[in-house]
Amino acid sequence: MIFFVVVAMVSCGRKPMEGYRQQPQLPPMHPDYTDITIPCNIAPLNFEIDSVDEIEVLIKGERDWTFRKRGTKMRFGEREWRKMLAEERGNELLIHVTTLRDREHCGWRSFTWQISEDSIDSYLSYRLIEPAYEVWNELQIVERNVENFDERLLGDNISTDRSCMNCHTSNRAEQPATFMHVRGKRGGTIYSHEGKVRKINTATAHTSGSAVYGEIERGGRYGIFTTADIVPILHLDARERMEVYDRSSDLIVIDFEEGTVSDNEAVSGAEYQETFPAFSADGRTIYFCRAVSRPQPDSITNMMYSLCAIDFDPATGRLGDEVRTVIDADSVGRSFSFPKCSPDGRWLMTTVSNYGTFPIWHSETDLWLIDLQSGAVDTLAAVNGRYSDSYHSWSSSSRWVVFASKRDDRVYGRPYIAHVDSLGQVSRPFVLPQRDPSRYRTTLKSMNIPELYPHAENYDARVLRRIYFDKEAETFEYKENR
């Protein structure tokens, strides 16, 4: 076995490659990290350039930083990278990339990195899953430290009877409450809060099923969830791959402290289908998506979900009696999914697609940003890619978003990060950096449902396995919320 030792050299005075041929285009780097805003605590932006013998990066800021690496992959030393970010915090850096190929030095057009004063939450979870419908029972929930490259498994369904695992979702509070649904005979909703991990059966005789999509309010006591009868189908249209629709869907409130599940006539019943609920920053409003019920799958392309809202009383856990339409789907010709409010209460980001309620399969899916003060809508033309930009999550500071994007190849979802300033200007997104920059080319799984949160989860896959097999799910009681 041959071992390679990689050394990244950093200096102030060392001169970069000289006598090189200047190219007018940007360097053909993978991933593309040109002209972006990055957090002051992000892991190194490692990249590769095919078919070269050496890469050198000269970074000009308050001082000059030179990194040189033999081979096709630029892997920055983590200690030197952190030092550079700390010293250049708030500065715009000019990046020069030169390469050596067949003894010929080649330089590329320079680009910039803006080192933001705003740090990003340290942890990101995502689900590793096959990108198509053939394999659904081999998946993992991964927690990644975005300040370095450390990863650990929060869930691995090989160790839980290959049961499906849905979402690891955090409320992004100072001490977050998180949940994950684990299906199967011994499954339940895994609820983690204040150091305690519980397994809960959220189904009752009075509601239409277990909790599905949802969110937990900042205090951790209440959750708002969808109950839905979800059906996957293959598309007859050769241009599409798959569709997922709800036969029915309603909203329920879960009180984790009292151990109750409740519903409300305003957001349940056969006339409408409600889904993707999310709390406002102050916990007094719940945003969700709603469509008039139609026969499906025959009418799937006519299922247009409007963005709606309903009041919530955090003192009693009661929903209001009146549903308000924030944006009518028919008025804009788009269907809304995944509304998520920024923790500072200023913005709401949502996905829009041509129809339906499963946007990750729709290549036309985009992100929109809504100003909750003025109602202005930014369609984020400079942010959205060619293919699906869908599930997203805010950082606890409201200055960063991460979202799942298939912009690179239309098949594999990958976590992209973008900065949101105080005026709602969203920067050019960049993909989550990896220790090995070729990982996105070689990993045959999507990284979807990305969730940011400030503190590491207090359980892992081994704990989850014990809970799955050895712990009985708590049964919650139904409570009227009318």
Residue 210: what pLDDT?
87
Q: Is pLDDT above 50 for 46?
A: yes
In a domain, 2, yes or no: no
DSSP 8-state code for residue 293: -
Average pLDDT over residues 64-70: 96
Residue corresponding to tokens 């050394």: 7
* Average model confidence (pLDDT) across the chain: 90
Average pLDDT over residues 298-317: 92
Q: Is pLDDT above 80 for 130?
A: yes
More confident residue, 5 or 388: 388
The b-or-e profile of 360-374 (16+ CB within 10 A means b, else e) is bbbbebbbbbbebee
Residue 9: what pLDDT?
36
Same domain? 127 vs 101: no
The whole-angstrom separation of Cα 271 and Cα 253 is: 20
The whole-angstrom separation of Cα 174 and Cα 220 is: 11
| Residue ending a domain, choose from 115, 132, 154 | 115
In a domain, 9, yes or no: no
In a domain, 8, yes or no: no
The whole-angstrom separation of Cα 238 and Cα 236 is: 6
Total number of domains in the chain: 2
3-state secondary structure of 224: strand
- How much of the chain, in percent, has pLDDT values that exceed 90? 77
pLDDT confidence band for 482 (50 / 70 / 90): low
| Residue ending a domain, choose from 90, 115, 140 | 115
Q: Is pLDDT above 50 for 444?
A: yes
Residue 137: what pLDDT?
67
In three state form, how does the secondary structure of 393-428 look?
Answer: EECCCCCEEEEEECCCCCCCCEEEEEEECCCCCECC
Residue 231: what pLDDT?
64
Q: What is the pTM of this model?
A: 0.93
Same domain? 267 vs 182: yes
In a domain, 481, yes or no: no
Strand residues in 61-203 grouped as ranges (E): 64-70, 73-74, 92-101, 104-107, 111-115, 123-129, 140-145, 151-156, 165-170, 178-182, 188-193, 196-201
Find the range with the poorest average confidence among 169-173, 230-234, 265-269: 230-234
**Which domain does 73 fall in, by range?**
21-115
In a domain, 475, yes or no: no
| Residue ending a domain, choose from 99, 115, 131 | 115
Same domain? 129 vs 111: no
Question: Across the strands, what pairs with 151?
Answer: 144
Residue 233: what pLDDT?
65
Q: Residue 257 is encoded by which pair of tokens?
A: 């402290």
Same domain? 340 vs 422: yes
Residue 126: what pLDDT?
96
Task: Tell me the pLDDT tens digit for each residue of 72-108.
Answer: 999 999 999 999 999 999 999 999 999 999 888 999 9
Same domain? 267 vs 403: yes
pLDDT confidence band for 132 (50 / 70 / 90): low
Q: Is pLDDT above 60 for 151?
A: yes
Residue 20: what pLDDT?
65
Task: Tell me the pLDDT tens digit for each residue of 311-351.
Answer: 999 999 999 999 999 999 999 999 999 999 999 999 999 99
Residue 13: what pLDDT?
36
Same domain? 73 vs 134: no
Same domain? 351 vs 426: yes
Residue 397: what pLDDT?
97
More confident residue, 15 or 91: 91
Same domain? 93 vs 182: no
- How much of the chain, in percent, has pLDDT values that exceed 70? 91
Cβ partners under 8 Å of residue 248, min gap 6: 208, 228, 229, 270, 273, 293
Q: Return the CATH number at 88.
A: 2.60.40
Show the DSSP H helices in 66-198 as ranges.
Answer: 78-87
Q: Residue 291 is encoded by which pair of tokens?
A: 């469509």
In a domain, 454, yes or no: yes
In a domain, 107, yes or no: yes
Find the range with the poorest average confidence among 163-167, 224-228, 393-397: 163-167
Residue 415: what pLDDT?
98
Same domain? 340 vs 378: yes
Q: Return the CATH number at 430.
A: 2.120.10.30
Same domain? 44 vs 159: no
Task: Tell me the pLDDT tens digit for each residue of 457-471.
Answer: 999 999 999 999 999
In a domain, 11, yes or no: no
Same domain? 327 vs 229: yes
Residue 206: what pLDDT?
87
Same domain? 235 vs 287: yes
